[in-house]
Chain A
Amino acid sequence: MYRLLALCAAAVLLTGCETMGTSPRWMPTALNSDTPYLQQLSPEKAKAPADDKEVREDVRRMQSLGLGLVYYPELEQLLNDELQRIKATSGFVEVPGRVYILASPTMNALTTDQGNIYVPIGMLMDIQSMDEVDALLAHELAHTVLSHTDVDIVKEIQKKGTAAYGLVNRLSMDASNAESAARRIRNSMALYMATEKVISPTWSRTQETDADKLAVDFLVQAGRNVNGMTALLGRLDQWGKINATLHEKDKPKQSMLVTAASSQFAQNEWQALLIQAADPIGRKIEDGIAQAGHTHLSSEERLDDLNEYIRAHYRKAARPAMDSKTWRKVAHSQKSRRLAQGVVQSHVAFRSVSQGKSAAASTLLAKSKHRDVQGQTYYQLARASVAEDRGRSEEVLDLADASAANVYASYRLQVMAQQAKARQVGGKADSEELRTLYEQFDVYGRPAEFYYDLIQLADTTDNVGLKVELAVRCQAAYFGDANACSSGQKQDVAKQEAGLVDGLLGIFGK
C-alpha cells in the first residue's frame, strides 16, 4: 500500500498535476476493437494543418538533433507521395505533416507534435516493399490522427527526459567537481528513468497497439496488403531480439547515460565517471524498473493483438501482391546504399571521437568520401567533430560554411563554428556574432541541448542582457531544473532530489 502511495506521489511530483488533453473532435472518447477504428472516426472534422512556423521549426530542430536529416529528394518524394495517398484514401487529407529521413542507423521511426514523420535511413534499408513502408507511414499517421503527441503527460515526461539528457551533456563538459557531478547525474537519471519506464509505458502500450490497428484500416483503404504491417512488426521483433542480446552482452556501454554523453563528444575520463555514476545504484534502479515495467508490449505481443483485429475485420479481404519493385528501385539503389553507409560510418566516427580515437574516425570518414555523401550535413558534422577534437578551428569553420547552404543545415555546426572562432581569439566570443547565433536559435526551434553551449559562449562576453535572457529561457526549457543551466547546485534542489531517489529505491528495492 505504502509502495503504491509512494509511486503515485512520485508520479504526481515528476509529471506535474496536468491531466490528459481533451480528445480531438474527429475522435470518440474511446475506441473499441469490435468495429474497425476508422469507422469510429470522423475524418471530415479533422483539423487543418498546424502553424506553418511551428512545422518549419520542428524540421529545423530535427536537423540539429544528433546527425540531423539526410537530403535525398527522390526517396523523400516517394515517401511523401505514399503518405499523401494514405491520407487521401482514408479521408484525413487535412492532417498536417511530411516525411523526412533521419541520418540514423536505427529502426525507431517517430512522429512529432506537428505531424511530421521522421524515419531513420537504417530502417528504410531494411524495409522490403511499398506495402511495408506504407504500414510504417500509416502507423505514424495514426499517432497524429489519434492525437498521441498532444497528451500532456507524455510531453511532461519527455521534458524531464530532456532535462536529464541536457544535464548529462552539460556535466560531461564540466570536470571541476567529479563527486558532486556523479551524484547529480545519478539523481537526475533516476528521476528520468522512473518517469520514462514506469509511467510512460502505460500510455505507450495503448498508443502503439491503437496506432497499429488504425494503420491496418489505412492500409486496406489504400489497397495495400495488411501483411505489410505483419512484416514490419516481424522485423521490429527481430531487431528487438538482436538488441536484447547486445544489451545483455555489453550492459555498461548500452547505458543511456553513456550514450547520451558520448553523442556529445564527452571527454575520455568522463566516460569512466559516467559509468561510475550509473553503477551500482543507477543500474539497480534500471533493473528494478525493468522488472516492474511489464506493461511494455513486445513486438510479438503487438503482432498477436493485431492479428486478432485483422481476423475480426479483414479475414477475407484480398491480400494483393506486395510492390517490392518500386520500393527497391529507389530505396535500395546504389545511391541509397551509399548514403546509408555514410550515415553508419559518420555515426561510428562520431563515437570514435568521443572515445578519444579521432585518428580512427578520420580514416573511416576518408573511406566513405563520395560525391553523394560529402555534401551531406551528417558527414560534415562528423568531419567537424574530428577537426574540433584535433584543434583545427579553421577546418571546422570551412565545414560550417559549406554546410550553411545545405537544405537540411544543422544548428550544431553553427555553434561549433562560433566556438572555433572564440578559440582562435583566445576564448572570447564576439558579442554581435553571438547575438546572431542566438537569433538563429529561435529559427531552429530552440533545441534545448544547445543552451549550455550558448550560455558558455555568452559567459565569455560582456553581454549581461543575453546572459540573463539565456538563463531564464534555459530554466523554462528544462522544466525548472536548475542543474541544466547553472554550474552550482542549490541546497533545496539537492535535498528534493535525494528524497525522491530514496523513495524510488524504496519502491524498486535497494
Chain B
Amino acid sequence: MKLSMKRFALALAMAALCHAAAAGDLKISALAADATELDLFSPDADGAYLKSVELSKLKFPIAILEDRNGGFIVRLEGKKYYVNGPDVIANNVYKVTAECDNAFTTSLVGATRGIAGKGC
C-alpha cells in the first residue's frame, strides 16, 4: 500500500513536471502580421476583455504559461492574462492523430465538401 502511494506520488510529480516543461517551451515571438496592439482578456472563467497593449510596449519573446487551445495564458507586468491565438505568432502545434482517407467523401451526393476540404 505504502509503495503504491509512493509510486502514485512520483507519477503525479512527473506529470506535473512534464506539463510545466511543455508549457515552458512555448513562446510568443511576435504579434500577428497586421496587429498593432495585443488584446488582453481575463484568465478567469468569464474571460472579460480588460485592455489592449501597444506593440511598442511589448517585449518579446513572451513565455506562454498555459496553452488553452486557441488562446494562451501569459504574464505581463506581473499579472496573468488570456490572449487570442490568432493575434500572435507562437510556437504551439495542434495535436493531430486522425488519419487520411478518401473512401467516404468520394461517393456522396447532396453533401458539403467536408470541413477539411477534399482531404487527401
Give the docked Cα–Cα distance between A102 and B101 (Å): 13
Instruction: Decide: A105 and B111 in contact? CB cutoff 8 A.
Output: no
User: A291-327 toward B: CB 8 Å interface, digit per residue (1/0)?
Assistant: 0000010010001101100100001111111101000
Residues of B within 8 A of A107 (CB): 96, 98, 115-116, 119
Chain A residues with Cβ under 8 A from B71's Cβ?
A: 225, 227, 230, 319
The distance in angstroms between the C-alpha atoms of A263 and B69, with both chains bound, is 35
Q: Is the CB of A126 within 8 A of B101?
A: no
In the complex, A503 has a CB within 8 A of chain B: no
Q: With a CB–CB cut-off of 8 A, which chain B residues contact A120?
A: 98, 104
In the complex, what distance in Å separates the CA atom of A296 from the CA atom of B118? Answer: 10
- Report Cα–Cα, A350/B84, bound state, in Å: 42
**Nearest opposing residue in chain A for B111, CB measure:** A112
Asked if A84 is at the interface of the complex by the 8 Å CB criterion, the answer is no
- Interface size classification for chain B: 35 or more
Whether A320 lies near B47 (C-beta < 8 A) is yes
B10-18, B22-30, B37-45, B54-62: which lies at the A interface?
B37-45
For the complex formed, measure the closest distance between the CB of A444 and the CB atoms of chain B, giving whole angstroms: 14
A155 vs B113: C-alpha distance when bound (angstroms) = 11
Interface hit among A10-18, A237-245, A266-274, A456-464: A237-245
Q: Which of A32-40, A132-140, A432-440 contacts B (4 or more CB under 8 A)?
A: A132-140
Q: Quick check: B110 and A113 within 8 Å, CB to CB?
A: yes
In the complex, which residues of chain B have a beta carbon less than 8 angstroms from the beta carbon of A221? none
Given contacts A307-B32, A321-B44, is CB(A113)–CB(B111) below 8 Å? Answer: yes
* Contact yes or no, A316 B49, CB < 8 A: yes
B112–A260 CB distance below 8 A: no
Complex Cα distance, B84 from A321, in Å, reads 12
Query: Taking beta carbons and an 8 Å cutoff, which residues of B are in contact with A?
Result: 32, 39, 41, 43-49, 68-71, 82, 84-87, 93-120
Could you give 24 example pairs across A and B, Cβ below 8 Å?
Answer: A108-B105, A109-B114, A112-B108, A113-B110, A122-B98, A125-B97, A126-B96, A128-B95, A139-B115, A158-B108, A162-B108, A166-B107, A207-B113, A225-B71, A227-B69, A231-B70, A235-B94, A235-B96, A259-B101, A263-B103, A318-B46, A318-B49, A319-B82, A344-B99
Binding site for B on A (CB under 8 A): 65-66, 102, 104-113, 120, 122-123, 125-126, 128-129, 131-132, 136, 139-140, 143, 148-149, 155, 158-159, 161-162, 165-166, 196-197, 200, 204, 207-208, 211, 225, 227-232, 234-240, 242-243, 246-247, 254, 256, 259-260, 263, 296, 299, 303-304, 306-307, 310, 315-322, 324, 344, 347, 447-449
